[in-house]
């Protein structure tokens, strides 16, 4: 086998092993599990309506609307249901059925349980790193 092929295969194997480690140990945070069927259905609705185009989770997404990571925790399910059902002057009313609204709310409730964003008290180390209290620990 020529050296070029060996180099490419080595890079691909390294990438695959690292990805496997990330998919398993790196992200196996039980706080993030969608624990029921309604939350799982809500996740698909979240994508079907492309909510991430305007909203963020953990600061990742569009900036037209607020970050929703802890919105349910702060304002409650009833408040969130009203927003989703009615829309606002800036957010369209998607005319979702009540079941669908409940599914989305359930999904956001699971997101809320998965962690905190923005961090209220990040632990900043002298070398510029930050620590997150509920991050996965070995």
Partner 1 sequence: MAAFFSANSEEESTGSSPPVLALPLLCAWILFAIKVIHSVGAIKGTWPVYLWMWVTGVIFFIITYTEANLWVLPWFRNNVIRDITIQWKSNGSLVGSWNMMVYGTGIYLMCRISGNQDTAYTKKSFFFFFLGVVNLLFNWGHHTYLVPSAPWIKEVSYIISMTEWVIFLNIIRSWRKTVSDVIKHKNLLAYKFLFASEIWVFLNLALALLMSVPAINNYTHGTHITVAHAMGTTIGINTMILMASLFYILSEIHQWTKKELLIVHTGFWVANIPLLIFWLSLIGAGISKAYYEKMVPNASFSDTMTHVMTYMYVFTIAGFLVLTGLTTLAVMGLRVKIPRE
- Kindly state the smallest distance separating residue 32's Cβ from partner 1, in Å: 4
Chosen residue from 58, 77, 87, 91 binding partner 1 by CB under 8 A? 58
Read off the tokens for 110: 């699971």
Chosen residue from 25, 74, 75, 76 binding partner 1 by CB under 8 A? 25
What is the spatial distance between Cα 78 and Cα 86, in angstroms, rounded to a whole number? 12
Would you count residue 128 as binding partner 1 (CB under 8 A)? yes
Chosen residue from 6, 13, 60, 74 binding partner 1 by CB under 8 A? 60
Identify whether the C-beta of residue 117 lies closer than 8 Å to the C-beta of residue 69.
yes
Would you count residue 15 as binding partner 1 (CB under 8 A)? yes
What radius of gyration, in Å, describes the C-alpha atoms of the chain? Answer: 19
- Kindly state the smallest distance separating residue 85's Cβ from partner 1, in Å: 19
Would you count residue 79 as binding partner 1 (CB under 8 A)? no
Would you count residue 93 as binding partner 1 (CB under 8 A)? no
For 27, 49, 93, the CA distances from 54, given in Å and listed in that order, are 25, 10, 14
- The number of residues making up the chain comes to 138
- Nearest alpha-carbon partner for 46 in 104, 133, 124: 104
Q: Which stretch binds partner 1 (CB under 8 A): 73-81, 91-99, 124-132?
A: 124-132
């Amino acid at each position: 086998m020529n050296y070029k092929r060996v180099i490419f295969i080595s890079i691909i194997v390294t990438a695959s092993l690292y990805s496997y480690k990330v998919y398993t140990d790196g992200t196996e945070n039980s706080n993030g599990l969608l624990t029921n069927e309604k939350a799982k259905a809500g996740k698909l609705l979240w994508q079907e309506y492309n909510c991430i185009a305007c909203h963020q989770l953990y600061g990742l997404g569009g900036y037209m609307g607020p970050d929703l990571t802890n919105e349910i925790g702060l304002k409650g399910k009833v408040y969130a249901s009203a927003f989703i059902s009615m829309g606002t002057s800036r957010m369209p009313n998607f005319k979702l059925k009540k079941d669908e609204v409940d599914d989305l709310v359930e999904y956001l409730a699971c997101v809320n349980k998965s962690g905190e964003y923005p961090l209220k008290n990040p632990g900043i180390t002298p070398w510029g790193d930050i620590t997150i209290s509920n991050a996965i620990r070995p």
